Amino acid sequence: MDYRILPLHAFSDKRGSLVALESCKNVPFEIKRVYYIFDTSPEFDRGGHAHTNLEQLMLCLAGSCEFVLDDGKCKEKVILDSPKVGLYIGKNIWREMKNFSRDCRLVVLASDYYDENEYIRSYEEFLKMIGESNE
């Protein structure tokens, strides 16, 4: 499955810690968009879609949340609860996000501009597309 947990180097000293992110260096794509998610609740899930062409790096700067990643063959759960790692998600991965802590601060770096037409929001359509691309 095309996802990786990337350890991020933190410059830490008595003042605190700093992590630097650079396109095509420790971020494995050119960053074209950044968005963030906050005011979350464990009662409400997010996601429930895949992207045909988008790569993203998820950074949980505070609190925690859970990603369930699915390539149509298997599902894997990743808990994000540290600003010292990034979760890279490649193309054609169905994702569901759940168990958000109320203090979760999720920052997402994306390889392209927002395009609603590039979302697959039907799981049946996702499975069909994965099946076709594996033929």
Which residues are catalytic, by number?
49
Spatial CA neighbour of 57 closest among 87, 98, 26, 100: 87
Q: How far is it, in rounded angstroms, from Cα 110 to Cα 124?
A: 25
Token pair for residue 93?
């991965």
- Tell me the closest approach of the beta carbon of residue 24 to ligand T46, in angstroms: 20
Instruction: Write the interaction track for ligand T46 spanning residues 58-97; mark x where CB under 6 A is met and - where it is not.
Output: -------------------------------------x-x
Total number of residues that touch ligand T46 (CB under 6 A): 10
Residues 2-21 that bind ligand T46 (CB under 6 A): none
Element (H, E) at 133: helix 123-133
36 is a site residue for ligand T46 (CB under 6 A)? no
Of 12-20, 30-38, 74-82, 124-132, the window that binds ligand T46 (rule: CB under 6 A) is: 30-38
Of 4-12, 23-31, 32-40, 125-133, the window that binds ligand T46 (rule: CB under 6 A) is: 32-40
The b-or-e profile of 105-125 (16+ CB within 10 A means b, else e) is bbbbbbbbeeeeeeebeeeee
Q: Are 86 and 20 in contact (CB under 8 A)?
A: no
- Residues making contact with ligand T46 (CB under 6 A): 33, 35, 37, 46-47, 56, 95, 97, 108, 114
